[in-house]
Amino acid sequence: MFEKFAAYLKEKASLTDEQLEEVRAVTINKRLRKRQYLLQEGDVCHHNCFLAKGCLRLYRVGDDGVEHILRFAVENWWISDQESYNNGIPSKNNIDALEDSELLLIEKNDFNRIVSSFPNFRTFRDALKAKSYDVSQNRIMSNISDTAEEKYINFIESYPDIFNRVPLHMIASFLGVSRETLSRIRTQYAKAH
């Protein structure tokens, strides 16, 4: 499992073999079965998690019992509850596996040491944070101003890998539309294309 992570870090962060060995020393391998939790509401998120294989979702359950999906993650993506991780507070969210999954976890203190020790990793981390911020800002703007059709088209164009791996009701939750609305949009889109 680490070999895939190492290849990713070599490509994206230009880590040397020596640096990778230091990362390997602090990396925890974790396997999740479908429907198994990585993080549950009320727990504190202590790790940054790299997804080597599988599909996860980050979601919150509203007071009305409805799930609101904030993010999906597939291979070569990072996932954690950043608010809980950054502030050491109980999470308001859940992260669970939508497929059998393999992850590599790095505890916060170890991650921070890697960031401070390896300037190339710090640069990579900063670029990743900036991209995550941009994606979040674009999603907020989409939720404010896009029609349901525009949200759907943007989703299938931006995340074709996820679209084919996630149940329709979860995509509807992520887009903030009803399942019925999403079914209607999908039918109309399929006829037009």
Q: What residue segments make up the domains of the chain, in order of their start?
A: 2-118
Nearest-angstrom CA–CA distance, 34 and 99: 4
Could you tell me if 175 and 166 are in contact, meaning their C-beta atoms sit under 8 angstroms apart? no
Q: pLDDT class for 193, splitting at 50, 70, 90? A: confident
Residue with tokens 């499992």: 1
Give the CATH number of domain 2-118; options: 2.60.120.430, 2.60.120.10, 2.60.40.10, 2.40.220.10. 2.60.120.10
Q: Is 0.85 surpassed by the pTM of this model?
A: yes
- Residue 161's pLDDT is what? 85
The one-letter amino acid code at 69 reads I
Could you tell me if 111 and 48 are in contact, meaning their C-beta atoms sit under 8 angstroms apart? yes
Q: pLDDT class for 185, splitting at 50, 70, 90? A: very high
pLDDT surpassing 90 at residue 177: yes
